[in-house]
Chain A
Amino acid sequence: MDLDLSKSLVFIDLDLNTKEEVLLFLSEELCKRDLVKAEYQQAILEREKVYPTGLPSPGVNIAIPHADNNLVNETSIAIGILKKPVLFNSMENTETELGVQMVIMLAIKEPHGQIEMLQKVVTIIQNEELTNRIVNTSNKSGVLEMLEPYLYQKQE
């Protein structure tokens, strides 16, 4: 399935202080566009408590919050670039806190699906040079330009 990187789902310069604020902000944006069900917001918050999604990455630490696929209407992602690092717990070691500066919220509709989309997200996470450049860019179109080759798939 193709993922259209809608411009409205990339947010830069987010001045937020806690992971809850970040999760609420991004899930609200998905919700507003009817990409996810209303319950998705609560599910994202709950899941982050039980299974945190912070990833200790080579460049900028990234979090990939997501929730149950049955709360998703349409496969989509919401990316938030934070003005300053916000503490998330690590997926691998839930006691460890990581200063995260890029959050990629995944809304995945089909179980075991979207492997291509997920792999693209992983390519971004592993690209130290790219993530450093993204958090240091202060205009949205610049960030989109950098992300586009990784996320946008041309329609056949």
Chain B
Amino acid sequence: MKRVLVACGNGIATSTVVASKIKEYAENERINIKTEQCKLMEVPGKGDDYDLVVTTGQFGGQVKTPVVGGLSLLTGVGKEETLKEILSYLK
């Protein structure tokens, strides 16, 4: 099962919404995933243990895991493209 780390400023608010949107989308595509949330500042320490990192805020750090910006899942602008990009890492 692929594991996705979803990060926002404090790991509580926007990451909760984005994680649920990713889970919902993956379920529809019949892909089994696990999401976990954290603070943006925890990403450099944790990110490498996951298959994908999705962030709502600006992330300037370095991780080996691919990082996708997930803000469009909140605003709806460019949502489809973001979901497709996320999916490409989860197959």
Q: Are B12 and A115 in contact (CB under 8 A)?
A: no
Interface size class of B (residues with CB under 8 A): 20 to 34
Q: Are B14 and A64 in contact (CB under 8 A)?
A: yes
The 8 Å CB contact of A118, one of B13, B40, B58, B76, is B13
Interface assignment of B65: CB less than 8 Å from any CB of chain A: no
A-B contact count (CB 8 A): 68
The 8 Å CB contact of A106, one of B13, B20, B74, B77, is B13
- The smallest C-beta distance from B4 to any residue of chain A, in angstroms, reads 15
Which residues in A have their C-beta under 8 angstroms from that of B56?
Answer: 91-92
Q: Are B9 and A51 in contact (CB under 8 A)?
A: yes
Q: Are A51 and B57 in contact (CB under 8 A)?
A: yes
- The smallest C-beta distance from B88 to any residue of chain A, in angstroms, reads 20
Which residues in B have their C-beta under 8 angstroms from that of A47?
Answer: 9-10
The 8 Å CB contact of B57, one of A58, A91, A114, A125, is A91
Interface assignment of A93: CB less than 8 Å from any CB of chain B: yes
The 8 Å CB contact of A115, one of B11, B20, B69, is B20
